[in-house]
Amino acid sequence: MDALLPLEDAIAAVLAEVRPLGAERVALADALGRVLAEPALSATDLPPFPSSSMDGFALRAADTPGVLAVVGHSAAGVPWTGELGAGQAVGIATGAVVPAVADAVIPIERVVVKDNSVEVEACERGANIRLPGGDVERGAVVLPAGSELGAAQLAALAAAGVPAVACARRPRVRVLVTGTELRAAGEELRPGEIYESNGTLIRAALSGEADVELLAPVRDDEAAHTEALARALEADVALTSGGVSVGPHDLVRAVAAGLGVTERFWRVAVKPGKPVLFGTRGHTLLFGLPGNPVSVLVGLELFVRPALRALQGTADPGPRFEPARLARPARLDPARTVFLRARLEDGVVDPLSGQESHMIVRAAAANALVHLPRGEGELAAGEPVRIIRLR
Ligand code: AMP
Ligand code: MG
Protein backbone atom coordinates (compact mmCIF):
# COMPACT_ATOMS: atom_id res chain seq x y z
CA MET A 1 0.00 0.00 0.00
CA ASP A 2 1.41 3.41 -0.92
CA ALA A 3 2.01 5.85 1.94
CA LEU A 4 -0.63 8.45 2.72
CA LEU A 5 0.35 12.10 2.39
CA PRO A 6 0.43 13.91 5.76
CA LEU A 7 -2.42 16.42 6.05
CA GLU A 8 -0.10 19.43 6.51
CA ASP A 9 1.75 18.54 3.30
CA ALA A 10 -1.52 18.16 1.42
CA ILE A 11 -2.76 21.60 2.50
CA ALA A 12 0.61 23.14 1.59
CA ALA A 13 0.47 21.43 -1.82
CA VAL A 14 -2.95 22.96 -2.50
CA LEU A 15 -1.91 26.47 -1.49
CA ALA A 16 1.28 26.17 -3.57
CA GLU A 17 -0.83 25.69 -6.72
CA VAL A 18 -3.08 28.71 -6.16
CA ARG A 19 -2.64 31.58 -8.64
CA PRO A 20 -4.53 34.62 -7.27
CA LEU A 21 -7.44 35.83 -9.39
CA GLY A 22 -7.55 39.32 -10.88
CA ALA A 23 -9.26 42.33 -9.32
CA GLU A 24 -12.48 44.17 -10.15
CA ARG A 25 -14.33 47.19 -8.75
CA VAL A 26 -17.24 46.27 -6.50
CA ALA A 27 -19.90 48.54 -4.99
CA LEU A 28 -20.16 48.26 -1.21
CA ALA A 29 -23.67 46.85 -1.52
CA ASP A 30 -22.24 43.84 -3.38
CA ALA A 31 -19.01 43.46 -1.42
CA LEU A 32 -20.08 41.31 1.54
CA GLY A 33 -17.71 38.34 1.79
CA ARG A 34 -15.28 39.74 -0.77
CA VAL A 35 -11.56 40.32 -0.25
CA LEU A 36 -9.81 43.65 -0.87
CA ALA A 37 -7.30 43.50 -3.72
CA GLU A 38 -5.84 46.92 -2.80
CA PRO A 39 -5.74 48.96 0.40
CA ALA A 40 -8.88 51.10 0.77
CA LEU A 41 -8.12 54.76 1.62
CA SER A 42 -10.38 57.14 3.48
CA ALA A 43 -12.06 59.87 1.43
CA THR A 44 -12.44 62.06 4.52
CA ASP A 45 -11.23 62.82 7.99
CA LEU A 46 -13.47 60.85 10.31
CA PRO A 47 -15.08 62.68 11.96
CA PRO A 48 -14.73 65.40 9.29
CA PHE A 49 -15.01 68.22 11.88
CA PRO A 50 -14.71 68.68 15.66
CA SER A 51 -17.86 66.92 16.76
CA SER A 52 -19.70 66.75 20.06
CA SER A 53 -19.97 63.34 21.70
CA MET A 54 -22.79 64.51 23.99
CA ASP A 55 -26.02 66.46 24.02
CA GLY A 56 -25.13 69.54 26.05
CA PHE A 57 -23.48 72.94 25.76
CA ALA A 58 -20.34 73.94 23.87
CA LEU A 59 -18.29 76.55 25.76
CA ARG A 60 -14.83 77.79 26.59
CA ALA A 61 -13.33 75.82 29.47
CA ALA A 62 -11.71 79.02 30.74
CA ASP A 63 -15.20 80.45 31.39
CA THR A 64 -16.06 77.66 33.84
CA PRO A 65 -17.35 77.35 36.49
CA GLY A 66 -19.95 80.06 36.08
CA VAL A 67 -23.22 81.16 34.56
CA LEU A 68 -23.02 81.42 30.74
CA ALA A 69 -25.40 83.06 28.27
CA VAL A 70 -26.87 80.62 25.74
CA VAL A 71 -26.57 82.31 22.33
CA GLY A 72 -27.54 79.59 19.85
CA HIS A 73 -27.82 75.90 19.01
CA SER A 74 -25.71 73.53 16.87
CA ALA A 75 -27.66 70.50 15.60
CA ALA A 76 -26.36 67.43 13.74
CA GLY A 77 -26.03 68.54 10.12
CA VAL A 78 -26.97 72.16 10.97
CA PRO A 79 -23.90 73.94 12.36
CA TRP A 80 -24.28 77.17 14.36
CA THR A 81 -22.63 79.94 12.37
CA GLY A 82 -22.23 82.64 14.98
CA GLU A 83 -19.14 83.57 16.94
CA LEU A 84 -18.86 82.49 20.53
CA GLY A 85 -17.95 85.37 22.83
CA ALA A 86 -16.53 85.28 26.34
CA GLY A 87 -19.06 84.00 28.90
CA GLN A 88 -21.26 82.46 26.22
CA ALA A 89 -22.36 78.90 25.46
CA VAL A 90 -24.14 77.19 22.57
CA GLY A 91 -26.58 74.31 22.92
CA ILE A 92 -25.23 71.32 21.00
CA ALA A 93 -26.42 67.87 19.93
CA THR A 94 -24.40 64.66 19.66
CA GLY A 95 -22.59 64.64 16.31
CA ALA A 96 -23.01 68.39 15.74
CA VAL A 97 -20.13 70.73 14.88
CA VAL A 98 -18.44 72.26 17.92
CA PRO A 99 -18.24 76.01 17.15
CA ALA A 100 -14.80 77.55 16.61
CA VAL A 101 -13.33 78.92 19.87
CA ALA A 102 -15.38 76.49 21.99
CA ASP A 103 -13.00 73.94 23.50
CA ALA A 104 -15.27 71.80 25.66
CA VAL A 105 -18.79 70.38 25.77
CA ILE A 106 -20.59 69.93 29.05
CA PRO A 107 -23.33 67.26 29.04
CA ILE A 108 -26.86 68.49 29.60
CA GLU A 109 -27.15 66.28 32.69
CA ARG A 110 -24.48 68.38 34.41
CA VAL A 111 -25.88 71.89 33.97
CA VAL A 112 -28.70 73.91 35.47
CA VAL A 113 -30.67 75.62 32.70
CA LYS A 114 -32.28 78.98 33.60
CA ASP A 115 -34.11 81.04 30.97
CA ASN A 116 -31.39 81.94 28.46
CA SER A 117 -28.42 80.90 30.55
CA VAL A 118 -26.79 77.81 32.01
CA GLU A 119 -24.97 77.33 35.25
CA VAL A 120 -21.98 75.04 34.68
CA GLU A 121 -19.38 73.45 36.87
CA ALA A 122 -15.65 73.47 36.05
CA CYS A 123 -14.91 71.88 32.64
CA GLU A 124 -11.68 70.52 31.20
CA ARG A 125 -10.46 71.62 27.78
CA GLY A 126 -11.27 69.06 25.10
CA ALA A 127 -14.01 67.40 27.17
CA ASN A 128 -16.60 65.55 25.01
CA ILE A 129 -15.14 66.75 21.72
CA ARG A 130 -14.31 64.19 19.03
CA LEU A 131 -11.30 65.44 17.12
CA PRO A 132 -11.37 65.58 13.29
CA GLY A 133 -9.62 62.49 11.91
CA GLY A 134 -9.65 60.87 15.34
CA ASP A 135 -10.94 57.60 13.88
CA VAL A 136 -9.15 57.81 10.53
CA GLU A 137 -7.52 60.64 8.59
CA ARG A 138 -8.29 61.49 4.98
CA GLY A 139 -6.03 59.41 2.70
CA ALA A 140 -5.11 56.95 5.44
CA VAL A 141 -5.66 53.21 5.09
CA VAL A 142 -9.11 52.10 6.26
CA LEU A 143 -8.44 48.41 5.51
CA PRO A 144 -5.32 46.79 4.02
CA ALA A 145 -5.26 44.57 0.93
CA GLY A 146 -6.30 41.03 1.80
CA SER A 147 -9.02 42.16 4.24
CA GLU A 148 -12.20 40.08 4.22
CA LEU A 149 -15.25 42.30 4.10
CA GLY A 150 -17.82 41.55 6.79
CA ALA A 151 -20.45 43.87 8.19
CA ALA A 152 -18.08 45.94 10.35
CA GLN A 153 -15.56 46.32 7.51
CA LEU A 154 -18.25 47.47 5.08
CA ALA A 155 -19.50 49.97 7.66
CA ALA A 156 -15.95 51.33 8.08
CA LEU A 157 -15.65 51.84 4.32
CA ALA A 158 -19.05 53.55 4.11
CA ALA A 159 -18.18 55.85 7.04
CA ALA A 160 -14.89 56.73 5.35
CA GLY A 161 -16.82 57.80 2.24
CA VAL A 162 -15.68 54.91 0.03
CA PRO A 163 -18.49 53.92 -2.38
CA ALA A 164 -16.71 51.01 -4.11
CA VAL A 165 -13.54 48.99 -3.62
CA ALA A 166 -11.10 46.88 -5.65
CA CYS A 167 -11.81 43.26 -4.78
CA ALA A 168 -10.41 39.98 -5.97
CA ARG A 169 -12.71 38.38 -8.50
CA ARG A 170 -15.01 35.86 -6.84
CA PRO A 171 -13.87 32.31 -7.62
CA ARG A 172 -16.17 30.36 -9.93
CA VAL A 173 -16.76 26.85 -8.65
CA ARG A 174 -18.44 24.10 -10.66
CA VAL A 175 -19.61 21.07 -8.79
CA LEU A 176 -20.02 17.60 -10.20
CA VAL A 177 -21.78 15.07 -8.00
CA THR A 178 -21.26 11.45 -9.11
CA GLY A 179 -23.15 8.26 -8.28
CA THR A 180 -25.73 6.08 -10.03
CA GLU A 181 -27.49 5.63 -6.69
CA LEU A 182 -28.35 9.31 -6.18
CA ARG A 183 -31.89 10.72 -6.23
CA ALA A 184 -33.15 14.17 -5.39
CA ALA A 185 -35.23 14.73 -2.24
CA GLY A 186 -38.91 14.50 -3.19
CA GLU A 187 -38.34 11.67 -5.65
CA GLU A 188 -39.25 8.05 -4.92
CA LEU A 189 -36.25 5.91 -3.90
CA ARG A 190 -35.88 2.68 -5.86
CA PRO A 191 -33.94 -0.26 -4.40
CA GLY A 192 -30.33 0.67 -3.69
CA GLU A 193 -30.86 4.40 -4.10
CA ILE A 194 -30.20 7.20 -1.60
CA TYR A 195 -30.93 10.90 -1.51
CA GLU A 196 -28.25 13.20 -2.87
CA SER A 197 -26.95 15.66 -0.28
CA ASN A 198 -23.40 16.63 -1.23
CA GLY A 199 -24.43 19.16 -3.84
CA THR A 200 -26.59 20.94 -1.27
CA LEU A 201 -23.78 20.82 1.27
CA ILE A 202 -21.13 22.15 -1.09
CA ARG A 203 -23.23 25.02 -2.41
CA ALA A 204 -24.29 26.10 1.07
CA ALA A 205 -20.82 25.78 2.54
CA LEU A 206 -19.05 27.75 -0.17
CA SER A 207 -21.55 30.32 -1.42
CA GLY A 208 -20.14 32.96 0.94
CA GLU A 209 -16.76 32.72 -0.75
CA ALA A 210 -17.51 31.72 -4.33
CA ASP A 211 -20.05 31.61 -7.14
CA VAL A 212 -21.07 27.97 -6.98
CA GLU A 213 -22.74 26.24 -9.90
CA LEU A 214 -24.07 22.69 -9.48
CA LEU A 215 -23.98 20.57 -12.62
CA ALA A 216 -26.55 17.82 -12.99
CA PRO A 217 -25.44 14.71 -11.05
CA VAL A 218 -23.93 11.99 -13.23
CA ARG A 219 -24.19 8.21 -13.16
CA ASP A 220 -21.09 6.08 -12.75
CA ASP A 221 -20.53 6.02 -16.47
CA GLU A 222 -17.32 7.12 -18.17
CA ALA A 223 -18.86 9.11 -21.00
CA ALA A 224 -21.14 11.01 -18.62
CA HIS A 225 -18.22 11.72 -16.29
CA THR A 226 -16.04 12.96 -19.14
CA GLU A 227 -18.60 15.34 -20.55
CA ALA A 228 -19.50 16.82 -17.18
CA LEU A 229 -15.97 17.02 -15.80
CA ALA A 230 -14.85 18.83 -18.95
CA ARG A 231 -17.46 21.49 -18.15
CA ALA A 232 -16.46 21.63 -14.50
CA LEU A 233 -12.82 22.18 -15.47
CA GLU A 234 -13.76 25.43 -17.26
CA ALA A 235 -14.23 27.05 -13.84
CA ASP A 236 -11.56 28.37 -11.46
CA VAL A 237 -12.26 25.43 -9.18
CA ALA A 238 -13.78 22.09 -10.19
CA LEU A 239 -15.21 20.06 -7.35
CA THR A 240 -16.37 16.48 -7.59
CA SER A 241 -18.01 14.27 -5.01
CA GLY A 242 -17.75 10.48 -5.01
CA GLY A 243 -16.08 8.08 -7.39
CA VAL A 244 -12.55 8.81 -6.25
CA SER A 245 -11.79 5.66 -4.27
CA VAL A 246 -10.53 2.27 -5.50
CA GLY A 247 -13.77 0.56 -6.58
CA PRO A 248 -14.53 -0.45 -10.17
CA HIS A 249 -17.12 2.35 -10.43
CA ASP A 250 -14.74 5.03 -9.18
CA LEU A 251 -13.97 6.89 -12.38
CA VAL A 252 -12.99 10.42 -11.41
CA ARG A 253 -9.19 9.94 -11.35
CA ALA A 254 -8.98 8.23 -14.72
CA VAL A 255 -11.39 10.65 -16.36
CA ALA A 256 -9.54 13.65 -14.92
CA ALA A 257 -6.23 12.29 -16.22
CA GLY A 258 -7.82 11.81 -19.64
CA LEU A 259 -8.90 15.45 -19.63
CA GLY A 260 -5.33 16.65 -19.00
CA VAL A 261 -5.47 17.11 -15.23
CA THR A 262 -2.12 16.71 -13.46
CA GLU A 263 -2.68 14.80 -10.25
CA ARG A 264 -0.91 16.57 -7.35
CA PHE A 265 -1.99 14.14 -4.68
CA TRP A 266 -4.44 11.35 -4.02
CA ARG A 267 -5.11 9.91 -0.56
CA VAL A 268 -4.25 11.92 2.51
CA ALA A 269 -3.62 10.73 6.06
CA VAL A 270 -6.89 12.17 7.33
CA LYS A 271 -10.09 10.67 8.74
CA PRO A 272 -12.67 11.08 7.37
CA GLY A 273 -11.92 11.81 3.72
CA LYS A 274 -8.77 9.80 3.01
CA PRO A 275 -9.22 9.17 -0.74
CA VAL A 276 -9.30 12.89 -1.60
CA LEU A 277 -7.82 13.86 -4.96
CA PHE A 278 -6.20 17.16 -5.87
CA GLY A 279 -5.07 18.07 -9.35
CA THR A 280 -4.53 21.06 -11.60
CA ARG A 281 -5.08 21.88 -15.24
CA GLY A 282 -3.64 25.25 -16.14
CA HIS A 283 -4.83 27.58 -13.37
CA THR A 284 -7.88 25.44 -12.61
CA LEU A 285 -7.85 23.50 -9.35
CA LEU A 286 -9.63 20.15 -9.16
CA PHE A 287 -10.73 18.71 -5.83
CA GLY A 288 -12.08 15.18 -5.96
CA LEU A 289 -13.84 14.71 -2.64
CA PRO A 290 -14.97 11.23 -1.55
CA GLY A 291 -18.72 10.62 -1.62
CA ASN A 292 -19.45 10.19 2.05
CA PRO A 293 -21.17 13.40 3.15
CA VAL A 294 -19.07 13.87 6.28
CA SER A 295 -15.91 13.42 4.21
CA VAL A 296 -17.18 16.25 2.04
CA LEU A 297 -17.92 18.43 5.08
CA VAL A 298 -14.36 17.94 6.36
CA GLY A 299 -12.65 18.14 2.96
CA LEU A 300 -14.33 21.48 2.22
CA GLU A 301 -12.87 23.00 5.41
CA LEU A 302 -9.41 21.47 5.07
CA PHE A 303 -8.70 22.01 1.38
CA VAL A 304 -11.37 23.88 -0.56
CA ARG A 305 -12.17 26.86 1.65
CA PRO A 306 -8.47 27.71 2.17
CA ALA A 307 -7.97 27.50 -1.60
CA LEU A 308 -10.93 29.84 -2.23
CA ARG A 309 -9.53 32.34 0.25
CA ALA A 310 -6.02 32.10 -1.22
CA LEU A 311 -7.41 32.62 -4.75
CA GLN A 312 -8.74 35.95 -3.44
CA GLY A 313 -5.47 36.92 -1.78
CA THR A 314 -6.59 36.58 1.83
CA ALA A 315 -3.73 37.09 4.26
CA ASP A 316 -4.61 33.98 6.28
CA PRO A 317 -6.24 31.33 4.06
CA GLY A 318 -6.40 28.72 6.81
CA PRO A 319 -7.69 26.17 7.64
CA ARG A 320 -8.39 28.44 10.61
CA PHE A 321 -7.86 26.59 13.82
CA GLU A 322 -8.85 27.87 17.25
CA PRO A 323 -7.88 26.52 20.66
CA ALA A 324 -10.35 24.58 22.82
CA ARG A 325 -10.37 21.89 25.51
CA LEU A 326 -11.74 18.39 25.18
CA ALA A 327 -14.86 17.63 27.20
CA ARG A 328 -14.14 13.90 27.23
CA PRO A 329 -11.28 11.54 26.31
CA ALA A 330 -10.65 10.97 22.59
CA ARG A 331 -8.72 8.11 21.00
CA LEU A 332 -5.88 9.00 18.64
CA ASP A 333 -5.14 7.27 15.35
CA PRO A 334 -1.45 6.48 14.75
CA ALA A 335 -1.83 6.69 10.96
CA ARG A 336 -4.21 9.56 10.35
CA THR A 337 -5.15 13.02 11.59
CA VAL A 338 -8.74 12.69 12.81
CA PHE A 339 -11.51 15.29 12.72
CA LEU A 340 -14.47 14.64 15.01
CA ARG A 341 -17.79 16.42 14.69
CA ALA A 342 -18.44 18.17 17.98
CA ARG A 343 -20.32 20.77 19.99
CA LEU A 344 -18.24 23.73 21.08
CA GLU A 345 -19.48 25.69 24.10
CA ASP A 346 -17.46 28.15 26.19
CA GLY A 347 -14.19 26.86 24.76
CA VAL A 348 -14.97 23.24 25.66
CA VAL A 349 -15.52 20.87 22.77
CA ASP A 350 -17.59 17.71 23.10
CA PRO A 351 -17.43 15.09 20.30
CA LEU A 352 -20.85 13.84 19.23
CA SER A 353 -21.92 10.23 19.16
CA GLY A 354 -22.19 8.78 15.64
CA GLN A 355 -18.83 9.60 14.07
CA GLU A 356 -19.10 7.43 10.95
CA SER A 357 -18.49 9.25 7.72
CA HIS A 358 -21.95 8.58 6.23
CA MET A 359 -23.74 10.07 9.29
CA ILE A 360 -24.56 13.54 8.01
CA VAL A 361 -27.69 13.80 10.17
CA ARG A 362 -25.61 13.22 13.30
CA ALA A 363 -23.06 15.71 11.98
CA ALA A 364 -25.80 18.31 11.61
CA ALA A 365 -25.70 18.80 15.40
CA ALA A 366 -22.05 19.88 15.24
CA ASN A 367 -20.76 23.43 15.29
CA ALA A 368 -17.07 22.50 15.21
CA LEU A 369 -14.57 19.93 14.00
CA VAL A 370 -12.04 18.75 16.57
CA HIS A 371 -8.53 18.14 15.27
CA LEU A 372 -6.82 15.08 16.78
CA PRO A 373 -3.18 14.79 15.73
CA ARG A 374 -1.77 11.43 14.68
CA GLY A 375 -0.54 9.54 17.74
CA GLU A 376 -0.80 6.62 20.13
CA GLY A 377 -3.30 6.21 22.97
CA GLU A 378 -5.82 8.91 23.77
CA LEU A 379 -6.14 12.53 24.79
CA ALA A 380 -7.63 12.98 28.27
CA ALA A 381 -10.62 15.16 29.12
CA GLY A 382 -9.45 18.76 29.58
CA GLU A 383 -6.52 18.43 27.15
CA PRO A 384 -5.98 21.34 24.75
CA VAL A 385 -6.99 20.64 21.14
CA ARG A 386 -7.53 22.70 18.03
CA ILE A 387 -10.92 23.11 16.42
CA ILE A 388 -12.36 24.47 13.18
CA ARG A 389 -15.69 26.23 13.50
CA LEU A 390 -18.51 25.11 11.23
CA ARG A 391 -20.94 27.70 9.94
P1 AMP B 1 -18.11 6.92 -3.24
O2 AMP B 1 -17.03 7.81 -2.76
O3 AMP B 1 -18.64 7.27 -4.58
O4 AMP B 1 -17.70 5.49 -3.14
O5 AMP B 1 -19.31 7.12 -2.22
C6 AMP B 1 -19.13 6.81 -0.86
C7 AMP B 1 -20.47 6.80 -0.15
O8 AMP B 1 -21.04 8.08 -0.21
C9 AMP B 1 -21.48 5.87 -0.77
O10 AMP B 1 -22.24 5.31 0.28
C11 AMP B 1 -22.34 6.79 -1.61
O12 AMP B 1 -23.63 6.29 -1.82
C13 AMP B 1 -22.35 8.03 -0.77
N14 AMP B 1 -22.52 9.21 -1.61
C15 AMP B 1 -21.84 9.48 -2.74
N16 AMP B 1 -22.23 10.64 -3.27
C17 AMP B 1 -23.20 11.12 -2.46
C18 AMP B 1 -24.00 12.29 -2.49
N19 AMP B 1 -23.88 13.20 -3.46
N20 AMP B 1 -24.90 12.48 -1.50
C21 AMP B 1 -25.02 11.56 -0.52
N22 AMP B 1 -24.29 10.46 -0.43
C23 AMP B 1 -23.38 10.22 -1.39
MG1 MG C 1 -19.87 6.50 -5.98
Residue 186 pLDDT greater than 80, yes or no: yes
Centre of ligand 2 from the C-alpha of residue 323, in Å: 35
Q: Tell me: pLDDT of 247 over 90.
A: yes
Tens-digit pLDDT profile for residues 263-288: 999 999 999 999 999 999 999 999 99
pLDDT at 163: 98
For ligand 1, whether the C-beta of 317 sits within 6 Å is no
pLDDT tens for 79-132 read 999 999 999 999 999 999 999 999 999 999 999 999 899 999 999 999 999 999
Does pLDDT of 196 surpass 60? Answer: yes
* pLDDT > 90 fraction of the chain, expressed in percent and rounded: 98
Q: Whose CA is nearest to atom 10 of ligand 1?
A: 292
Is 60 exceeded by the pLDDT of residue 170?
A: yes
Distance CA 81, CA 73 (A): 9
Burial class (CB in 10 A: 0-12, 13-18, 19+), 139: exposed
Answer yes or no: is the C-beta of 182 below 6 A from any ligand 1 atom.
yes
What sign does the CA torsion over 317, 323, 328, 330 have?
positive
Q: Which residue's CA is the nearest one to ligand 1's atom 3?
A: 242
Specify the pTM: 0.93
Are residues 146 and 315 in contact, defined by beta-carbon separation less than 8 angstroms? yes
Rounded to the nearest whole angstrom, what is the distance from the C-alpha of residue 302 to the centroid of ligand 1?
19
Residue 249 has a pLDDT of: 94
- What pLDDT shows up at residue 2? 61
| pLDDT level of residue 315 (50, 70, 90 thresholds) | confident
Nearest to 129 by CA among 106, 109, 110, 108: 106
What mean pLDDT is predicted for residues 353-370?
94
Q: Are 339 and 389 spatial neighbours (Cβ–Cβ below 8 Å)?
A: no
Q: How far is 65 from 283, CA to CA, in rounded Å?
A: 72
In the predicted structure, residue 319 carries a pLDDT above the cut 60: yes
Mean pLDDT of 230-252: 97
pLDDT band at 326 (very low <50, low <70, confident <90, very high): very high
Radius of gyration of the chain (CA): 30
Chain-wide mean pLDDT for the chain? 97
Task: State the alpha helices, DSSP H only, in the chain.
Answer: 7-17, 151-159, 198-206, 222-232, 252-258, 293-299, 305-311, 360-363
> Is residue 240 within 6 Å of ligand 1 at its C-beta?
no
- ∠ CA 319-322-325, nearest 5°, is 135
pLDDT of residue 3: 79
Closest residue by Cα to atom 23, ligand 1, is: 291
pLDDT at 171: 98
Residue 391: per-residue pLDDT: 85
Report the nearest-CA residue for atom 5 of ligand 1.
Answer: 291
Q: Does ligand 1 come within 6 angstroms of the Cβ of 220?
A: no
